[in-house]
Amino acid sequence: MRNFGDRKGLESDTDMDTDRKLFFFLSWIFALVISVQVCSAAGSPEDLFQRAMEAERTGSFDLALQLLNEAAQQAPGNSAILNNRSVIYATRGQHDQALQDLDTAIRLNPHDPGTYVNRGKVHEALGRNGEALRDYSTALDVQGDYLPALFQRASLHAVAGSEDRAQEDLSKLLKLEARHVPALLLLGRLNLSAGRPKEALKHFTAAVRADPGNRAAYQGMGDAEFLRGELSAAVESYTRALSGDAPDAAALMNRGSALARLGRFDEAIRDCEAAIRISPGTAEAHYNLGNALAAMGKDRAAVASFSTAITLDPKRVDFFHNRAVSYETLGELDKANDDLDAVLRLDPRNARALNARGTIFWHLGKAQQALDDFTRAVELAKDVSALKNLAALHLARESHEKATHLLERAAKLAPGDAEVLRGLGDVWLARRNSAKALSYYKKALGAAVSDEERSKIGIRMGRAWEESGNVRKAVQTYQEAVDTTGDAAVRNALTRKIGELNSGEKR
């Protein structure tokens, strides 16, 4: 009889140990093969780096970061891998990790200007402009003709308001690369900010020649042409800037302003409304829409647009000023005054607001307050409008010598201003010197650009002829005013006056 341990078909303990060892050995071999295959699929650090760069170019930042992490593990001393990984970190807003990589990359290779530029950009993103400037300058110490460092430093100087330093870096850059479009655009913007639209236009035009499809270059051309008063050319440039998909709100807004200046108000309003649809939080777009509506006489709608602009940016004096003008046109003088008070709180030396408020005070019968505002406006600025208003107030108070002196000052500033010349005629007529009055009225008539203005001058000339005793010339001049005025009440009054003078002459 056999016992249990002797049963056939069961392996001995020794046989089982041998099989287990064989199984574990084969498993280890299999794992090793898989590991080798994985490593072969991942590739060398150089291969990983190239694949990461391709992923970054296509916007696959997560994949790019994963590949660079693997490359950094395989080659921890490779500064290029760390430098490029920092760019991914910065793009994702992980600035601390980016700086850590860049600091390490610079320790590994202190002779790469690109690493200093990348660290400068991260410092800029964190608001550390002083450290950014030092990095850009260090990059240029390493390589004096490194274009990215020159451009970044110029941009930082421009932000800081150091125009001369920015211009110096950009001039050096453009000597090295005359068709560097970002540098040409920045130089154009600097010239625009400095009030040199002619110079700006040259740089924007050069940018267009270098890159004919560059929308920013066309927009810059439009801005320069607008400031030069070349409004039709500006509209054309803005239109080119708006070609293609995703139109820019600023280009629409600025084209709207140019169209409004050309009197094409319906088109201007469409552009402003389109800009608002794209960027409803842009105060300037609502402001420009208000200006176009006001120019069309739609002051109630203009007030609504100006109010939205003020809500979005309550520190812009021009927003309050132009709403005040619309309120004044609507006859809501108290509201207009409130807005002008707001302007003067923001800018106590704003001569334009003082002049406008003085006009309202005068309409409200507050002559002394008007006098104070006009006087202060004249003290602050050589403003023809304020001089005219102050002179008119002195004339109303029969301070003829003061009025004459003020208008003569205005005439020196604006020798062809019909309203100033008419004012001088009024002063001399009030001083009973019809010959001098007629001399100024004739000059004013030659400078007048509208029939309404010519009609106003003609009425005054008629009075001067009456004062001189020449009724025939008075009648003739009044008749010319009747023919040019568009005001039926004025026309009827002048017709009666002509009848009275003719009757008196017959008697």
pLDDT of 37 over the 70 cut? no
Q: What is the C-alpha to C-alpha distance for residues 82 and 422, in angstroms, rounded to an integer?
A: 76
What is the chain's length? Answer: 507
pLDDT greater at residue 246 or residue 33: 246
Per-residue pLDDT band at 83 (split at 50, 70, 90): confident
Taking residues 129-137, report their average pLDDT. Answer: 96
Three-state secondary structure readout of 342-364: HHHHHCCCCHHHHHHHHHHHHHC
Task: Note the pLDDT of residue 26.
Answer: 44
- DSSP code per residue over 23-64: HHHHHHHHHHHHHHHHHHHH--HHHHHHHHHHHHHTT-HHHH
Share of the chain above pLDDT 70, in %: 91
Q: DSSP class of residue 10?
A: P
The angle, 0 to 180 degrees and rounded to 10, between the axes of the packed helices 249-261 and 283-295 is: 20
Task: Note the pLDDT of residue 500.
Answer: 86
Q: Please write the tens of the pLDDT for every residue from 169-211.
A: 999 999 999 999 999 999 999 999 999 999 999 999 999 999 9
Q: Which of 12-21, 84-93, 123-132, 256-265 has the lowest mean pLDDT?
A: 12-21
pTM for this model (two decimals): 0.72
Q: Please write the tens of the pLDDT for every residue from 269-322.
A: 999 999 999 999 999 999 999 999 999 999 999 999 999 999 999 999 999 999
pLDDT of 24 over the 90 cut? no
Task: Note the pLDDT of residue 42.
Answer: 54
pLDDT of 246 over the 70 cut? yes
Cβ-based neighbour number of residue 259 at 10 Å: 24
pLDDT of 27 over the 80 cut? no
Tokens of 85: 């990984």
Q: What is the C-alpha to C-alpha distance for residues 326 and 319, in angstroms, rounded to an integer?
A: 11
Taking residues 412-421, report their average pLDDT. Answer: 92
Domains in the chain and their CATH numbers?
246-348 (1.25.40.10)
26, 80, 107, 464 from 110: Cα distances, Å: 49, 12, 6, 87
On average, the pLDDT of the chain sits at 88
Angle at 262 between CA 258 and CA 265, to 5 degrees: 85
Q: Looking at mean pLDDT, say which of 66-70, 274-278, 460-464 comes out highest.
A: 274-278
Per-residue pLDDT band at 23 (split at 50, 70, 90): very low
Task: Measure CA 375 to chain center.
Answer: 33
Task: Note the pLDDT of residue 15.
Answer: 45
